[in-house]
Chain A
Amino acid sequence: MSDAQRRIDDGAPGEQPSTGGADGSDSDSDSGNDEFEPVQVFPEAEEMDLRPGADNCYKCSTCDTNCPVAEVDDEFPGPKFQGPEQWRLKRQDDHDIDDSVMKCSNCMRCDSACPSSVPLSQMHNTARAEYVEENMSKFSREYLRNRLLANYRRLAPLASMFPRTANVVMGLSVTKWLGEKTLGITSEREFPEFATETFREWWTDRGGAKVENEDKRIAYFHGCYSNYNTSEVAKALVRVYEHFGYEVMVPEQSCSGTPMFANGMLEDARRAAETNVRELAAAIEDGAAVIASCSSCSMSIRQEYPELFDFEDTETVAANTWDAVEYLRVHEDLTGALEDTAVGDEFDELAYHAPCHSRNQGLDGQTIEVMDAIDGIDAQDVGDSCSGISGTYGWKAENYETSMKIGEEMFEHMDAAEAETGLTECPTCSMQMEHGTGYEIKHTLEVLEAALGGDRAESGAGSGSNADAGTTTATESN
């Protein structure tokens, strides 16, 4: 864009317009004449093809200074290289993708930092897929391990059929040792526990929605983790939304694709996305807004789907997908409803970490603002550092150390905070927070459920602050 050709340095006197072609960015213009063309200082409509996208880069290195991996590991060449430089090289000749792309954690911080809107994470995702497709042996341990981690959802149903056995087996040190030796999954971490009842089982047993409302409907995208592992988060979402009079739909769904993008398994992600877009588009057609409780799931549907796929309705689904708390803030008087509510001691002090994927959606300030409205909660933001785990990244033995180095700042800030309970919206950040501090970690929806539920139990439905929830139905009783 304009600044692409504007020299950015603080040397006097001022920035001068480039005379065009100086940095090779105009190399595909039809003539070799480099007559001064002032208009090139200003942007032209660019279509979103990756290689021209690389030309938007004016090499300011803002992305590099935001990359948590490059900060702790100078083997990693950083996002400017991964993105625009690599794609520029590719245009010149058919360059192989550099293997360092596998060291990128897909935190997407570079993407939201770039002042010139270079589509960095789209470039990384595409490069990673190409690397895995062309340069990684399909029989290598790394490929198998990554495929396994990326397709966690396929294993989870098995484990959750026999959750107790699975939990015991996963916890055995011999399993972990095997994991590290044969698969390269770090033995330092505890495998997450499987819920004894998945969310969907609970939902069916419960008989589905307790509130019917044609005018206020949501389709819940629960993702894998709150279905198989932290079903209490998913239940909290249902209760909070029913409190506000919403009819909750739970459509068929597949993995959001986040772990697949991060491992370069773009075809797996495409299949999952196709199902999700189809099912969610149908729900939108029925008048629902799509709501996610996991920040990476919403990020994936909102940003990565439109960047990487073009199914019919991809854009519609992206534009109608919301973070669970954000939707309530915009469509209900959430702070009003939370006024005069209180929660038990278990939530009085909270150390909040904003996941990178919620930061990138502009949601990083939201949780503290909402928590402030509840009496007796002191929620403290532990700063803007990355937790370091980034989904499956920190599970890989070769990344474990980097992951913990990145997390160090967050651990220090959590230790310094008053709280002994952590708060976040991302399941893997939550694992990292627990792993680094030993704190119990909660999801924001669990706190909202406690606040709104407590209030309702005392004052009865429809009274007091519930008034603005409109047709609150007093059907929720469990």
Chain B
Amino acid sequence: MAITDDVLVIGGGLAGATAALAAAETTEDARIRLVTYKQSTLRHASGLIDVLGYAPGTTDDQQQPIADPYTALESLPESHPYQRVGIDAVRDALAFFDEIAGDAYAGAHTDRNALVPTHGGTVKPTARYPVSTAEGLASDDRDTLLVGFETLPDFDAPLAAAHLEAAGAPFDARGVTLSFPGIGRDDAKVTRYAHLLDHDERVETPSVTGETGAREALAATVNPHLDEESRVGFPAILGDAHPAAVREALSDALGAAVFEVPMGPPSLPGLRLEDLLYDALESAGVRVTSGVPVVDYETVAADSTGENSTADETTTAAIDHVIVDRNGAQIPHEADQYVLATGGLVGKGVESNRERVTEGIFDCYVPHATDRYDWFVDDVFGEQPYARFGVVPDEELRPLGTDDNPEFSNLRAAGAVLGDYDYAAEKSGAGVSLATGYVAGTRAGEACQ
């Protein structure tokens, strides 16, 4: 017996989770399953939801961030995933995300990009941002103290403050580097900092004699360095399970607004977004199978589709079931509709060897130059062709074969497995995953009704 569901989503990153949630919302009684292998790129991502930060094709370092991403979407090339699903779908997907995220995210009040300071002291144009970063927006003119820690060298607060000022931020910024109470080793994990604050563990405080709660100890460490600034920015380590409580405690003790500065990977705001999505999946009744890969598939046997269709060579095949590998045991999983959301080169949805670039499960067509030396340009900061590798879908997001026909009638693709966009250069990663995940999931749900 195969494990049987109505919609099967393969891949549990932002695109797959969104697709599963959208399918669950479209069909009340359908059974939705999400199968995912390793952990997704959400854990590396900043937790910001970028729709479009920079126009593609402008690789110049001096390029200007896009103020209104929706207007800019219209001028994207026809093949861009945003154009495939249409601008309205992008708006619908963002609204869908706002509903799921509730008050954990901000930015829905405007179409315009917000400017969020990042750990390097640059500002990032983004459409939605975690509430923990909300008090730190660069468009806000309150003076700012940035606090870094000796044990977290990725965030050099004085340098970040200098960068912000040099970039013309409309406020005074100052940075200090302190030592984090309760952290001994210099490579403690971000989860360790968060756990200390979440549980308000007892720690030794240098300023006070004896032990206090970690939140109070941290505030006491920062307080003497606070001048007139009305907001204080910390690296994004302020709690994992209870971030709002941690921020509130710090803010009360400091008498200033508190915000987080998104960090490089591994990223707690990314982890929190992952938790938020997986909680939503559980509430929506989506069944999640994780830790095992989909490795193969079978199409519906030709003779079961009737004599007429067997004669017709051009009939689009349908997937009957896929095979999940569990340490060598082959477990069939069957569904009516499938969504492929296995990610790009980073998520391992798209693979490559010396000869060719492929999509790993269904071998969907991935256009690429035959000469591998054309996959790159010499200028490492130039637009890299390989960054755009991925499957090419029709408007329903069904991957197309070399003949421009859908590869399978019941397979749709979403997220970084899609080609023809460069999320890193144009800052569109989460937005494309949301929009295409939303459309692929909705269509899959509709198709199995």
* Partner-B contacts on A (CB < 8 A): 2-3, 6, 8-17, 36, 38-39, 41-44, 60-62, 64-67, 70-75, 77-78, 81, 112-115, 117, 302-303, 315, 318-322, 326, 329-333, 359-362, 364-366, 369, 381, 408-409
Contact = CB atoms under 8 A, between A and B. Distances in A.
Nearest to B264: A9
A14 B289 contact: no
Contacts of B38: 112-115, 117
Interface string B23-53: 0000000000000001101011110000000
A71 B327 contact: no
Given A65-B266, A361-B292, A362-B290, A302 B345 contact: no
B208 interface: no
B211 to A, nearest CB: 16
A340 to B, nearest CB: 19
Nearest to A317: B328
Contacts of B329: 302, 319-322
A70 B191 contact: yes
A329 B324 CA distance: 14
Given A65-B43, A362-B290, A115 B188 contact: no
A10 B345 CA distance: 15
A67 B348 contact: no
Contacts of B354: 39, 42
Contacts of B1: 329-333
A222 to B, nearest CB: 20
Given A302-B327, A330-B1, A362-B289, A65 B190 contact: yes
Contact of B266 (A17, A64, A329): A64
29 contacts: A6-B345, A8-B265, A13-B61, A13-B381, A14-B424, A16-B384, A36-B378, A41-B376, A42-B353, A43-B351, A44-B353, A60-B43, A62-B265, A70-B191, A71-B192, A74-B183, A115-B38, A315-B328, A318-B328, A319-B329, A322-B329, A330-B2, A330-B3, A359-B291, A362-B289, A362-B292, A364-B288, A365-B287, A365-B288
Contact of A14 (B266, B351, B387): B387
A64 B345 contact: no
B328 A115 contact: no
A330 to B, nearest CB: 6
A71 B191 contact: yes
Nearest to B354: A39
A104 B183 CA distance: 19
A10 B427 CA distance: 9
Contacts of A9: 264-265
Contacts of B271: 65
Contacts of B195: 71-72
Those 9 A-B pairs whose CB atoms lie nearest each other, nearest first = A319-B328, A362-B292, A16-B380, A302-B327, A362-B291, A14-B424, A74-B188, A61-B266, A38-B376
Given A44-B353, A320-B329, 16 more contacts: A9-B265, A10-B44, A10-B262, A16-B384, A38-B372, A39-B372, A61-B266, A62-B265, A70-B188, A74-B185, A77-B187, A115-B346, A302-B328, A326-B331, A330-B332, A360-B291
Interface in B281-325: 282, 287-292, 324
Interface string B324-357: 1011110110000000000001111001111000
Nearest to B377: A38
A159 B315 CA distance: 68
Nearest to A43: B353
B422 interface: yes
Chain B, interface residues (CB within 8 Å), range? 35 or more
A2 B326 contact: no
B120 A8 contact: no
A12 B424 contact: yes
A17 B287 contact: no
Contacts of B413: none
B365 interface: no
Contacts of A332: 1
A17 B45 CA distance: 19
Given A117-B38, A362-B326, A17 B376 contact: yes
Contacts of A44: 353
B377 to A, nearest CB: 10
A78 to B, nearest CB: 6
B375 interface: yes
Contacts of A81: 187
B380 A11 contact: no
A113 B328 contact: no
Contacts of B291: 112, 359-362, 364
A135 B122 CA distance: 48
B183 to A, nearest CB: 6
Given A10-B46, A115-B348, A15 B187 contact: no
A74 B372 CA distance: 45
B328 A16 contact: no
Contact of A64 (B189, B288, B332): B189
Contacts of B185: 74-75, 77
Interface string B112-141: 000000101010000000000000000000
A169 to B, nearest CB: 38
A4 to B, nearest CB: 11
Most buried by A among B184, B326, B372: B326
Nearest to B190: A65
B59 interface: yes
B47 to A, nearest CB: 10
A16 B425 CA distance: 11
Nearest to B324: A362
B60 to A, nearest CB: 9
Contacts of B425: 12-14
A122 to B, nearest CB: 13
Contacts of B408: none
A320 B326 CA distance: 10
Most buried by A among B292, B329, B425, B427: B329
Contact of B189 (A14, A67, A315, A360): A67
B105 interface: no
B91 interface: no
Contact of A113 (B39, B189, B288, B424): B39
A3 B380 contact: no
